[in-house]
């Protein structure tokens, strides 16, 4: 990689767990679930200012992080020695939960 453009096109400015498009989808679906719980908890279910996970993914990956990388900034893991949650385990758990919900919904449809 000899140019900023090559660096940007490589995706190397993204953390490893965000370099694959499908992995990005998992992250942003998880964020959408977090947003949904926040709306339920604080706004009585009103979603008037909510952003879809797709729009959040496009804005964050294709615009915000790309522009920041173009200017020499990257998202990186904190160096603080704190017991942070493991993003891979969190996403795996959320994907399992979503798959279970879908299977249960399909099971209910099959019995109706």
For 64-106, the pLDDT digits (tens) are 999 999 999 998 899 999 999 999 999 999 999 989 988 888 8
Q: In whole angstroms, give the CA distance from residue 18 to residue 10.
A: 12
pTM more than 0.85: no
The tokens of 60 are what? 């964050």
Decide if 18 contacts 61 (C-beta within 8 A).
yes
Per-residue pLDDT of 52-74, as tens digits, reads: 889 999 999 999 999 999 999 99
User: Of 3-7, 45-49, 58-62, which range is least confident?
Assistant: 45-49
């Amino acid at each position: 990689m000899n140019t900023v453009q090559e660096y940007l096109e490589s995706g190397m400015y993204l953390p490893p767990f965000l370099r694959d498009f499908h992995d990005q989808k998992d992250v942003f679906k998880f964020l959408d679930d977090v947003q949904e719980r926040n709306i339920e908890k604080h706004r009585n279910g009103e979603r008037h200012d909510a952003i879809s996970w797709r729009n959040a993914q496009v804005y964050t990956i294709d615009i915000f992080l790309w522009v920041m990388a173009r200017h020499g900034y990257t998202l990186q893991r904190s160096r603080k020695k704190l017991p942070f949650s493991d993003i891979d385990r969190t996403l795996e758990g959320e994907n399992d939960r979503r798959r279970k919900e879908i299977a249960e919904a399909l099971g209910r449809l099959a019995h109706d």
